[in-house]
Structure 1
């Protein structure tokens, strides 16, 4: 190895070390510390005892936890919706249009908006006397106000709208970076061969964006299963209301840990959710590799 390459390698490690140290303190250590807790009855107030697999057996017999897992899996509906709209938004703002910088900033504003503030605003919009019902009634689409967060059939889907609105700008920027990395010669060659704009997007742009689609889908999937802020704020003071229709795994784990102080059981719940995320991630990776990831390998 030449001296130049050794210097570059040394510099790369120096750049990695600070981030790795932060992850070691705030990610790896809590994980290693929390794993043994899943096999105890640790609750702060009582003496900690080893209970083995009892917490896991209790979890799979806990109807509220099973409900929360099901709700978290239903929440995955937001993943393809966010990705599809984000790609379309990225394609739109990737064009040389007048005022396109304004649209890029406008689409990104929800990303930098506090989730708590956004959830409170959306909670007001979803109330019976909120602006959403006013607009729908004015348009003649509904006859009477709907209490979106009070009806079990629609509450979870109403909260999903907040997640979609909040995440669009974030993923749009990633896809925009991907679009700008695609060689323009390929698209121009397709147009010369007679391909229309729709065919260029479908047969050229989308396939070349697959690595970005996989990355964004993984991030979105993990966020969807671990959704917490919007659910907790919009259903307060009874998280998961009505009737646990919006109870997600993250909210239920938090409730068990910091309301009931049942930290051992909460650690077991977190471990189960982590395993579910890992299995889904492995499946998505295999699908992504089959989808043409080797082009970038």
Structure 2
């Protein structure tokens, strides 16, 4: 019963209030009931779909944020020269706050930053630009920063999985003439199925719910709505404009999306090997 009360007070009641206020015109003090038509108007709003498109484009970076750490983990697992040092360096981003990462990224992608300087040194001055000042490149800069920030976490996940694999399986494969590439493709990757599932869900949840600080520091959601995600849109509607009802509605939409992802995760984790 104490556990039920805690869940009720801290989770279910706030979620229920968010659903209620999502169907009202709420300014943070008083609310006027409107009804489910608020969701109809939201889905008819082109800005919402522009923001949702940004989330969809960010999802394209998820496979990259998984494959790169997988390759790094495979090399570290083979104990290449200096693997202890590189393991520490690669894991370092996980110990840095999103704010610090964002501040560093702003300088890297600035017109006078190292990327533009490098382009000038190799004779590609025509590619120099203010990466964070154009919609066509700002989201790409955020995606690259997100991928870099996830490398440490996902590398540790895959290293943990590789450490649980039975060495006798690989020894038997070597005796049968299998190459390292063949063993990685036919043995390591299939046996890491559950770790892929976990990494996939963690990366998606991070892309949907943990990039507020990064976007706030790097672009402020701009230029225009070029880097505004649903998570950041909640903040803009509720605290910039004062439309707390719309903010609550966007929060409900985000909650439903993440709930679906969590259910898929649970289903996958229950699946047989």
How far apart are residue 277 of structure 1 and its match?
3.4
Report the equivalent of 2:218: 234
Report the equivalent of 1:11: none
How far apart are residue 26 of structure 1 and its match?
5.5
**Aligned equivalent of 1:109, options 76, 87, 92:** 92
Report the equivalent of 1:294: 272
Show the 5 A alignment for 1:66-215: 66-143=49-126, 145-215=128-198
CA distance in 1, matches of 2:91, 2:102: 17
How far apart are residue 160 of structure 1 and its match?
0.5
1:169-197 per-residue CA deviation (whole Å, 9 max, x = no partner) reads 01111111101011111111111111000
What root-mean-square deviation, in Å, do the aligned CA atoms of Structure 1 and Structure 2 show? 2.4
The answer (yes or no) to whether the contact 1:210–1:293 under 8 Å persists in 2 is no
Q: Secondary structure at the match of 2:116?
A: helix
The answer (yes or no) to whether the contact 1:39–1:268 under 8 Å persists in 2 is yes
The answer (yes or no) to whether the contact 2:62–2:200 under 8 Å persists in 1 is yes
1:240-289 per-residue CA deviation (whole Å, 9 max, x = no partner) reads 21121111111111111111222211111111223233445556776x57
Are residue 243 (structure 1) and residue 224 (structure 2) matched?
A: yes
CA distance in 1, matches of 2:89, 2:47: 39
Q: State the TM-score, normalized to the length of structure 1.
A: 0.83
Which sits farther off after the overlay, 165-174 or 134-143? 134-143
**Aligned equivalent of 1:272, options 249, 253, 264:** 253
Question: 5+ residue gaps in structure 1?
Answer: 1-16
The answer (yes or no) to whether the contact 2:119–2:127 under 8 Å persists in 1 is no
Q: 1:99 to 1:30 in 2, by over 3 A?
A: farther
Q: 1:162 to 1:256 in 2, by over 3 A?
A: same
**Aligned equivalent of 1:36, options 20, 36, 39:** 20
Q: 1:125 to 1:207 in 2, by over 3 A?
A: same
CA distance in 2, matches of 1:25, 1:110: 35
Q: Secondary structure at the match of 1:41?
A: strand
1:218-257 per-residue CA deviation (whole Å, 9 max, x = no partner) reads 111122133322111111xxx2211211111111111111
How far apart are residue 97 of structure 1 and its match?
3.4
How many corresponding residue pairs? 270
Q: Secondary structure at the match of 2:25?
A: coil
Q: 1:71 to 1:278 in 2, by over 3 A?
A: same
CA distance in 2, matches of 1:277, 1:194: 45
How far apart are residue 81 of structure 1 and its match?
0.2
Q: Secondary structure at the match of 1:149?
A: helix
The answer (yes or no) to whether the contact 1:214–1:285 under 8 Å persists in 2 is no
Question: 5+ residue gaps in structure 2?
Answer: none
Which sits farther off after the overlay, 54-63 or 110-119? 54-63
CA distance in 1, matches of 2:36, 2:168: 59
Q: State the TM-score, normalized to the length of structure 2.
A: 0.90
CA distance in 1, matches of 2:172, 2:203: 33
CA distance in 2, matches of 1:158, 1:165: 11
